[in-house]
Amino acid sequence: MKYIASMDQDHRIWVWLHHTLHVVYRAREKELDQFGISLMQAGVLFAVQKAPKPVTCAKIARWLLREPNSMHTLLNRMVQQGLLYKTNDTHDKRLVRIILTERGRQLYKIIYARPLKDDVLNRVFSTLSSPEKQQLEDLLRRVLHATIDELQMHRALRYF
């Protein structure tokens, strides 16, 4: 990618980050195709399983750094697929709780609880040593926090 060489360092880093995210995203999407779900749907399964209860659409949207209105469409599709269901909160009827169905729990276990050596992310990141992985994680976290500050998305920080 010779065109990158003429850019300043900040823009070169952005291009490498963007290209890397794009191809890793595609690799993970390809892996998830066998289960009939998208990467975002896998993220929803993870958020519903791991987020403090009760889980709502707004909470999932914050976890995944998405707008709640775009999350509604995705959640409705996942309800139709039998991966989760919605129920009114017993204490606050305005809140709708999001709960994994048995099928959703089983899919979560397949995607997130299988041996890591079978995971495309493990294969890709195995090119880095453990200290390099930690350094990359620390650097990406710093960039994420700086960007959240830039966008004034401070509510999102509690999830990171």
Q: Where are the domains of the chain?
A: 2-127, 128-160
User: For 43-77, what is each residue's pLDDT tens digit?
Assistant: 999 999 998 888 999 899 988 988 888 899 999 99
Reported as a pLDDT band with limits 50, 70 and 90, residue 135 is: very high
Asked whether the predicted pLDDT for residue 157 surpasses 70, the reply is: no
Highest mean pLDDT among 11-25, 90-104, 116-130: 11-25
CATH code of the domain made up of 2-127: 1.10.10.10
Q: What pLDDT digit, counting tens, does each position of 30-44 carry? A: 999 999 999 999 999
pTM, whole model, 2 decimals? 0.83
Please report the DSSP string for 52-107 in residue order.
PSSPBHHHHHHHTT--HHHHHHHHHHHHHTTSEEEEE-SS-TT-EEEEE-HHHHHH
pLDDT value at position 156?
Answer: 60
